[in-house]
Amino acid sequence: MAASQTPRLQPDCSLPPLSDWSPQGPFAVALSSGADSTALLWACVTRWPHWTRAIHVNHGLQPAAQDFEWHAQHLCARWNIPCVVQRVHAHPQAGQSPEDAARTARYLALAQAAQTSFDAPLTAVLLAQHAQDQAESVLLAWSRGAGLPGLAAMPTQMQRHGVTFVRPWLTQSGDSLRQALRRAGVAWVEDPSNRSQAYTRNRIRHQVLPVLEVALPGSQATLARTARHAAEAMDLLQDLAQLDAQRVGLPPRIAELQLLSARRQAHVLRFWLASMGTQAQAAQMQALLIQVSACKTRGHRIHLKVGQGHVVREGDVLAWLQSKV
């Protein structure tokens, strides 16, 4: 734990502003008990004490998980903030990493709590990622050869499981958050897994970003700006996908798909698959495009593995069928 003094709730603290976001009603902070989410909770409760709530997700993945939960509950009790604890057990599916499984379970748990665990459904859930996290996400996507969706990294706002998630600090420095907490004597819990070099993101954080910052000062902010530019380009592509979706229909009509260029076919197919809650790997999309192009007769069969299911032909349209567990 980084500090032991009693927190002082002072609205004039030196925490950075919460972007342009302001609440439209009760909302929650996703409180991990780490420095970033603790700072976000503090910033919110000093501004909107009557609307601030907290949700803590206990993944149960490490011995320190109980310490995180205890700290979250203790902090919220001292600050008189309603706090809900969600316990999850994320089991990776075939081809899914433990980190992805935990992330998927975490978002679902946060959404469920926001919708059902308080007096009324909440208007939003706030996430504490900051500029360093965004820079790490861009480098992580680059290391995997990602396209624009990956380079756009984390959006400022998104909808998932029927809940609005907001990241108001993506342009702010993580160091400034910790400095403000130290000055005020606000405690947090350090996650031991953040020091593990087994995770690619941690290697980027501890080995790549410091060297990059020395060689190219300001690179952290530059990478965050790259993510914003990529996100703007993605917005334009999203508009194009919606136009093409109106043309080919959802689910896509095969004959209408064939009238588009291969790149636009791939784009609208990814748009459709995303609406179904899945995504295609590059090799899967290439195979699907080949099958769509070859589908000239009524007897042509399409049955391709995509995500956790299969894309199949049903008459004149494509369908995605989720695999049975």
Q: What are the angstrom distances between the C-alpha of 91 and each of 95, 100, 150, 305?
A: 12, 10, 24, 21
- Most confident region among 162-166, 177-181, 220-224, 305-309 by mean pLDDT: 162-166
The residue type of 297 is T
pLDDT 10s digits, 275-301: 988 989 889 999 999 999 999 998 899
The residue written with tokens 């994320």 in the block is: 90
Q: What is the total residue count of the chain?
A: 325
C-alpha triplet 83, 15, 169: angle, nearest 5°: 75
**What b/e sequence results for 242-274 when a residue is b if at least 16 CB atoms lie within 10 Å of its CB, and e otherwise?**
eebbeebeebbbbebbeebeeebbbbbbbbbbe
Query: Who contacts 210 (Cβ-Cβ below 8 Å, separation ≥6)?
Result: none
pLDDT 10s digits, 78-88: 999 999 999 98
Q: How far is it, in rounded angstroms, from Cα 221 to Cα 204?
A: 15
Question: Mean pLDDT, the chain, as a whole number?
Answer: 89
- Most confident region among 206-210, 215-219, 253-257 by mean pLDDT: 253-257
pLDDT at 95 over 70: no
Predicted local confidence at residue 197, as pLDDT: 81
Query: Who contacts 239 (Cβ-Cβ below 8 Å, separation ≥6)?
Result: none
pLDDT mean over 195-210 = 88
| Residue 16 banded pLDDT, cuts 50, 70, 90 | confident
Residue from 2, 4, 79 nearest 42 by CA: 79
DSSP tally for the chain: helices H, then strands E: 12, 9
pLDDT 10s digits, 234-258: 999 999 999 999 999 999 999 999 9
DSSP state of 193: G
Q: In this structure, how many other beta carbons lie within 10 angstroms of the beta carbon of residue 236?
A: 10
SS3 214: helix
The residue type of 209 is L
The residue written with tokens 């970033």 in the block is: 36
pLDDT at 163 over 90: yes
Strand partners, 321: 310
pLDDT mean over 139-166 = 91
pTM value is 0.80
Secondary structure element (H or E) that encloses residue 162, with its range: none
pLDDT mean over 178-187 = 88
pLDDT mean over 64-93 = 89
